[in-house]
Structure 1
């Protein structure tokens, strides 16, 4: 079994705080999720999380226009430079102060940061420059503001930038010293200036303040005070400067939180503290749309390059929205958990992942895309367990509300509800491999309850334990049930015989978790003393014993006055899971460690760190005495929110001591930990449900895909063209895809005759269907006027030939969104044009019908003349045929 697992994705957390950044094409969105960054591919319906971490939560992200370099900055001003394409870390740097904004220049040669009261401009690292010791070289520091700078905006030619500040002013700076005369202060607002923008021609500047005032500035001459002065001086002789030419106000009941401006379309998007956002068209200040995304503030907004998609983030809700304002539809709508997840399970085919949480919600995740497919919210209490039936079409869940529910995963609905003969809170769940029986245990009773899935009737209750039942587990091969209880025993049951197969297994310590090997021959038991014991199911004999105490790295908490090595907290595993082949075991607990063991040799194979975020308890290792006050408390534990100038930042809606809900506003620090872990049935990944980070997916890298099609042929562009000349279109198309050259694919694709499209689509290997649809979608979006009908014929033939394969692999065909996006846009245009020209179309149809009737009358007259001529002619005389007419 391979063990080179790496972090692939982070689910359940889509946005925490900071700004959202689009890629150059506007099809990829970068979102800060705590101390990591997640990339969402909005077209191909995929996502991944960068493998590096910050020591604090990320507050700003910047991506250069070329899409190659990305800079992320955390709360303490520490920055990481990343190669966005290769996903590798290039350099670490510390700006030594809180960074409010960071932005690359459009040409990519510089980037500016708002650090305190100053604006710093740095040169972008470039491999073409001379060798230098420091990757970051500071170009210049710009001063002039009397309070913290809130934002920095570049001009399109990368020569100037505008900085806004809390001192209610904006300042224009030039990048080069020879243009320093353009520096100017724009004053007049009565509240913080949160953003400033250049228009497309750079002749107009818009400044937006927190109180909802939008000023338009133009570079004009000073207006004359009276008519005499106007007559004495010409307009060209008056001094020129930036002046306010228009003032507009939003007149909202709350203040402005964020804004973004699209210069090409003159569209302004504004987000407010009450969850409302508006779209305006400038310079007329015409409101296009007004919508709301909830009751909480819109923390950030971003517009993609084409101006079609708007991205919104709400940190209090943990919500991320991508909204297409023209069609008034959502491209992406995701929201994380309010409470920590309690349980997780993979579907039998490994394509889906289900998590359950304390807030009573069950979420179904698509593993390949990383998006939530469905949310079940019928439970009225915390959900404690989820489990799939063997075929994967039915999901079972147990809850503290006293019910066990069965869910149809095809129609996404609840079709069975199981209850006991008395009110109980179920804390554990197990499902028979056949899917006919479901069992659940409770801490309120010493019995194990058995229900029939078909009739939803309570069949029996297994008695024998002398304490509350804490864990249940079935194998995958037969109906052998293992149960653990507070009476320090583990019992193995024959579920259909309703008897115990062996004597109870005595355990020296409390059982925290147990897992049955898929072949139901071994049982792994995790205990409070930090051991994982492996037992033989048939004779209850201990086979292996793994000591996990030496492998667990439990960090120190904020109030601890000792190092983590001296802590006795969380030196045990609370969840264990077998791999499908039974050779490996993954274990985790309320600590910062996930351990993978080789069961046969009882050795640690690999250890994973859950998080390096120092804002969480349990991540620090050493005691830092410099952060301890004279009273013995930590400096980080002092609440400084009351020192904030803004009333909105001082508000805390959380209850005192609350540990649930939004982790950003809780008054008790979150602690790192893992509540559930499980191997994927494919052996290529495993998932860990964490307390504060979300759902971590660790996977084996599979970047190289072997394709042995036509391996004995020398595939070159020249050979592809030669095959195309021989009119072997299918072979030429496959060879072009193998070479992965767009110009060659276009040449072969456009050379296929319309009559052969159906034959090529029918014979096309399934491995190339997704690539061909992606090429067609990109061609439609890139040039929607050329070969439109030809492209749509290809799409229709591909769907007809491979529709079942596409339906079974929906997660791989995100490219269909490109085609759907094109059709929705063009379809609306065609309908609107047809409505506007309805009278013209009816007139043309009428004219065509009249012309057709006249032609028919002329043909009838000609036929009558021919018949008369035939009658007048002699019977045996040969008549010469007319032109284009057969002689017989």
Structure 2
């Protein structure tokens, strides 16, 4: 089994805090998710989490105008310089202060950083590795209070800074004679943002109380507005005294305060996000209200507008919500929201195409493993979801909850079609479904019983009693013959659910059992105990076969409130979730720690140790704590000294003016780094972990791995291409797999004539069969040669069925990957056919009408007759499928072929 799993994507969390940034083309949006950055492709409907981490949660993002350089700054001012196109980190830098805002100039030569009350201008670094890429251009005195917003002028010569001191300052990048920074006053609350107009004849400022000011630039005593930057001079060449004045003052008229704002100079659109979840769009400079909409129940923390001004992005940190709204058509481009609280469980569908997550917020979400998008959310439970599982057919997902119900959801019609309950109220914390999908079992915390229902009728079939403590986990044997249950009473019991006369097997352990899992072949079972050990049992003999000591491997870091070191603490040193790999050769385990461990079953050794996060904003990440951070009020990490991250900032900060340490009673809650559940994908290509950061997905990346198989000196790319040109396709394909270069394999694979596929599959060596099936599974979703691939699959499985059946356990991951690809293509083609169904009906009816008309005239039907009738666009009517007012728009490129089909019919 390959163990080079790499971090692939982060789902389940779409926005945490900070600002949103659109790409220069406006088709993607960058969102800070904890200490990572997720890119949402709004055109291709895909998500990508960039493969780097900041030390702490990200507070500000800045992308250069060309999209080459990305600056990611965390809460304490540590920044990453990233080559955005290549997804590589170029440099680490510390601004030595909390960054309030950071913005690139429109020409990309400079970027401005607001550090507390001061402003620093830096020259933009290159997008290659340098020894010292950051060069300070100028450091300017700032406001009397913290800076809240920075924006540039269109010509990149000036920039505006807004602050909590209710003022806006106008700075020049380069020193200019007789020019000093100008301060614009007049607001009575914190200035949220300020911007130049496109023609630089006005400055728009917005404050938290909803006041919007339009300011103009002119010469003193002259009532003619000037273009800022072209300063007038007198006859002697001296600058004339100029001034800014407030031309208009507007108010939003809402009872809530303004939390965030954005302005698009190209379209002169001003967007304001309120604290009550309402946003408004106004056209400047006349402040004409265009639209107002409530999109969230909590405050809108950030607003962004794409360069063309068509799409608006909103982020709500309290709900973890990210929305992209097209204001002209009033439709959602993107609407995603993560779990409000931690994820508690995760499950893969049988083909690995979908991932379902349950959370403490009583919601069940289903994600597309390929795109990373959540496409359905079920909120029927009234308490935390504790366990979930897909049925074998991928059309039903079941979830157990602490509210005492087990619910079955239909993934075709997206509805809850079955509710399983117990005679007395209990709390379910484990769930299992037999392979046939007919029997549903759930274990409870309080009565220590296992309830069994029928999926078809929903009736309670039986109650399995015997455990003397809460049941921690349930698992059906892959063949469906028995049910295994683990409990805190230090036992694992094997139940025969179809024959109750048999004796229940008891597997005794020395400590409380926390989790269990069956091997895919059903011959072995593993269970984790509270002392950090993993025990393996032979199911047929009910005898132990091995033990893995994982206490030191799973041990996490030291928590902020711990009085003892990480080595001496006993918390978090056990596995609360186990899972076998798809081929059964490895075991994956996770617990209340920042580590996930992968063990080899045969040798019982640690293969790899994955650290799910390096985010120091979480508790339990650091092994040693810094004693300098300890104060008389507790750890400094738990005290919000500046109030920037507090929801009740104005009410919480009651410190006297001049106090540097802030209000010591204003503490924060640091979430703990832990893994609640881990699952391997049935395809064996990836695994997922439900962690405090979100749904982490790790997958195999073989693009840069050279892994030859039975390689000889004569096997080279040139000789392989020569064999393919000569028509010896079988040898060329086999040698391609021996060299194992994917581009070369695809070249000789697609060079095989379609009529020769059936003959090649008969003589294809069985030693390379698994590699060929895996190769087809990898390219089938991205290739257009659908019929060609299906010929290969059909021929291989028909001619080598005995070999596939004999090695079904080893080939199961590959076959599941094939099933997922074919199912996805079937779904895509089905949707296209459904869209064209009515168009074909219309063409057939038009053909019949033309035929009837020609019969009356005793003439022949020609293609021109049908096309002319098709292009007439007459109203039509069918047997109950269309109304007489319906019309159909058809692509002109498809009209001749469709008309020909109608003529032949």
> Shorter-chain TM-score: what band?
0.7 to 0.9
Q: Alignment partner of 1:623: what SS?
A: coil
Q: Within the alignment, does 1:192 sit opposite 2:190 as a pair?
A: yes
- CA distance in structure 2 between the partners assigned to 1:651 and 1:521 by the alignment: 59
Q: Is the 1:445–1:469 contact (alpha carbons within 8 Å) kept by the matching residues of 2?
A: no
Q: Alignment partner of 2:165: what SS?
A: coil
Give the corresponding residue for 1:352.
Answer: 354
Q: Deviations over 1:339-371 (max 9, x none)?
A: 222211100011111111222211111111111
Q: Deviations over 1:489-515 (max 9, x none)?
A: 111222222355773111111000001
Q: Alignment partner of 1:16: what SS?
A: coil
Cα distance 1:73–1:535, how it changes in 2: closer, same or farther (>3 A)?
same
Q: Is the 1:502–1:540 contact (alpha carbons within 8 Å) kept by the matching residues of 2?
A: no
Q: Within the alignment, does 1:415 sit opposite 2:417 as a pair?
A: yes
- CA distance in structure 1 between the partners assigned to 2:321 and 2:827 by the alignment: 22
Q: Within the alignment, does 1:201 sit opposite 2:199 as a pair?
A: yes
Give the corresponding residue for 1:679.
Answer: 680
Q: Alignment partner of 2:365: what SS?
A: strand
Alignment of 1:488-527 (within 5 A): 488-498=490-500, 500=502, 503-527=505-529
Alignment of 1:431-830 (within 5 A): 431-498=433-500, 500=502, 503-629=505-631, 633-638=634-639, 640=641, 648-650=649-651, 668-690=669-691, 692-701=692-701, 703=703, 767-769=782-784, 808-809=824-825
Cα distance 1:553–1:250, how it changes in 2: closer, same or farther (>3 A)?
same
Q: Is the 1:477–1:518 contact (alpha carbons within 8 Å) kept by the matching residues of 2?
A: no
Q: Is the 2:639–2:668 contact (alpha carbons within 8 Å) kept by the matching residues of 1?
A: no
- CA distance in structure 2 between the partners assigned to 1:284 and 1:69 by the alignment: 36
Alignment of 1:110-189 (within 5 A): 110-126=110-126, 133-178=131-176, 181=179, 183-189=181-187
Q: Alignment partner of 1:551: what SS?
A: helix
Deviation at 1:182, TM superposition (A): 6.6
Q: Alignment partner of 1:277: what SS?
A: strand
Deviation larger for 47-56 or 642-651:
642-651
Q: Is the 2:21–2:63 contact (alpha carbons within 8 Å) kept by the matching residues of 1?
A: yes
- CA distance in structure 2 between the partners assigned to 1:805 and 1:635 by the alignment: 51
Q: Is the 1:77–1:95 contact (alpha carbons within 8 Å) kept by the matching residues of 2?
A: yes
Deviation at 1:607, TM superposition (A): 0.8
Cα distance 1:810–1:20, how it changes in 2: closer, same or farther (>3 A)?
farther
Q: Deviations over 1:815-849 (max 9, x none)?
A: 99xx9xxxxxxxxxxxxxxxxxxxxxxxxxxxxxx
Aligned pair partner of 1:291 in 293, 299, 304: 293
Backbone CA RMSD of aligned residues: 3.4
TM-score (norm 2): 0.74
Q: Is the 1:490–1:506 contact (alpha carbons within 8 Å) kept by the matching residues of 2?
A: yes
Q: Is the 2:69–2:127 contact (alpha carbons within 8 Å) kept by the matching residues of 1?
A: no
Deviation at 1:268, TM superposition (A): 0.7
- CA distance in structure 2 between the partners assigned to 1:551 and 1:805 by the alignment: 37
Deviation at 1:713, TM superposition (A): 9.9
Q: Deviations over 1:406-437 (max 9, x none)?
A: 11111111111222233222221100001111
Alignment of 1:369-388 (within 5 A): 369-388=371-390
Cα distance 1:195–1:687, how it changes in 2: closer, same or farther (>3 A)?
same
Q: Alignment partner of 1:564: what SS?
A: coil
Q: Is the 1:480–1:494 contact (alpha carbons within 8 Å) kept by the matching residues of 2?
A: yes
- CA distance in structure 2 between the partners assigned to 1:375 and 1:645 by the alignment: 29
Give the corresponding residue for 1:320.
Answer: 322
Give the corresponding residue for 2:855.
Answer: none
- CA distance in structure 2 between the partners assigned to 1:644 and 1:445 by the alignment: 43
Q: Is the 1:643–1:650 contact (alpha carbons within 8 Å) kept by the matching residues of 2?
A: no
Deviation at 1:190, TM superposition (A): 2.2
Deviation larger for 405-414 or 205-214:
205-214
Q: Deviations over 1:554-608 (max 9, x none)?
A: 1111122333122221111111111111011110101111111111111111111
Q: Deviations over 1:207-259 (max 9, x none)?
A: 2222222222222233469xxxxxxxx99897443332222221221221111
Q: Is the 2:489–2:513 contact (alpha carbons within 8 Å) kept by the matching residues of 1?
A: no
**Number of residue pairs aligned between Structure 1 and Structure 2:** 717
Cα distance 1:578–1:646, how it changes in 2: closer, same or farther (>3 A)?
closer
Deviation larger for 378-387 or 299-308:
378-387
Deviation at 1:642, TM superposition (A): 7.3
- CA distance in structure 1 between the partners assigned to 2:401 and 2:297 by the alignment: 29
Q: Deviations over 1:714-743 (max 9, x none)?
A: 99xxxxxxxxxxxxxxxxxx99x99xxxxx
- CA distance in structure 2 between the partners assigned to 1:84 and 1:126 by the alignment: 12
Deviation at 1:669, TM superposition (A): 3.0
Deviation at 1:645, TM superposition (A): 11
Cα distance 1:642–1:248, how it changes in 2: closer, same or farther (>3 A)?
closer
Q: Alignment partner of 2:132: what SS?
A: coil
Give the corresponding residue for 1:211.
Answer: 209
Structure having the higher Rg: 1
Q: Is the 2:57–2:75 contact (alpha carbons within 8 Å) kept by the matching residues of 1?
A: yes
Q: Alignment partner of 1:168: what SS?
A: coil
Give the corresponding residue for 1:90.
Answer: 90
Q: Deviations over 1:99-150 (max 9, x none)?
A: 110011112221110112211111111268xx96412111111224222222
Deviation at 1:646, TM superposition (A): 10
- CA distance in structure 1 between the partners assigned to 2:688 and 2:384 by the alignment: 21
- CA distance in structure 2 between the partners assigned to 1:807 and 1:307 by the alignment: 38
Cα distance 1:91–1:480, how it changes in 2: closer, same or farther (>3 A)?
same
Give the corresponding residue for 1:50.
Answer: 50
Cα distance 1:703–1:329, how it changes in 2: closer, same or farther (>3 A)?
farther
Cα distance 1:298–1:630, how it changes in 2: closer, same or farther (>3 A)?
closer
Cα distance 1:179–1:316, how it changes in 2: closer, same or farther (>3 A)?
farther
TM-score (norm 1): 0.75
Deviation larger for 382-391 or 347-356:
382-391
Deviation at 1:766, TM superposition (A): 7.8
Identify unmatched segments of 5+ residues in structure 1. Answer: 226-233, 653-664, 716-733, 739-763, 772-803, 820-851, 853-888
Q: Deviations over 1:747-767 (max 9, x none)?
A: xxxxxxxxxxxxxxxxx9984
Q: Is the 1:173–1:180 contact (alpha carbons within 8 Å) kept by the matching residues of 2?
A: no
- CA distance in structure 2 between the partners assigned to 1:646 and 1:600 by the alignment: 52
Q: Deviations over 1:168-218 (max 9, x none)?
A: 222222222246727422222222222111112222221222222222222
Deviation at 1:93, TM superposition (A): 0.8
Cα distance 1:47–1:224, how it changes in 2: closer, same or farther (>3 A)?
closer
Cα distance 1:200–1:770, how it changes in 2: closer, same or farther (>3 A)?
farther
Deviation at 1:381, TM superposition (A): 2.2
Deviation larger for 367-376 or 447-456:
447-456
Deviation at 1:76, TM superposition (A): 0.7
Cα distance 1:639–1:140, how it changes in 2: closer, same or farther (>3 A)?
closer
Deviation larger for 618-627 or 456-465:
456-465
Identify unmatched segments of 5+ residues in structure 2. Answer: 224-231, 654-665, 707-716, 725-742, 748-778, 787-819, 836-871, 873-905
Q: Is the 1:502–1:538 contact (alpha carbons within 8 Å) kept by the matching residues of 2?
A: no
Q: Is the 1:196–1:207 contact (alpha carbons within 8 Å) kept by the matching residues of 2?
A: yes
Q: Is the 1:492–1:501 contact (alpha carbons within 8 Å) kept by the matching residues of 2?
A: no
- CA distance in structure 1 between the partners assigned to 2:310 and 2:264 by the alignment: 10
- CA distance in structure 2 between the partners assigned to 1:769 and 1:544 by the alignment: 49
Give the corresponding residue for 1:749.
Answer: none
Deviation at 1:42, TM superposition (A): 0.8
Q: Within the alignment, does 1:262 sit opposite 2:264 as a pair?
A: yes
Alignment of 1:296-315 (within 5 A): 296-315=298-317
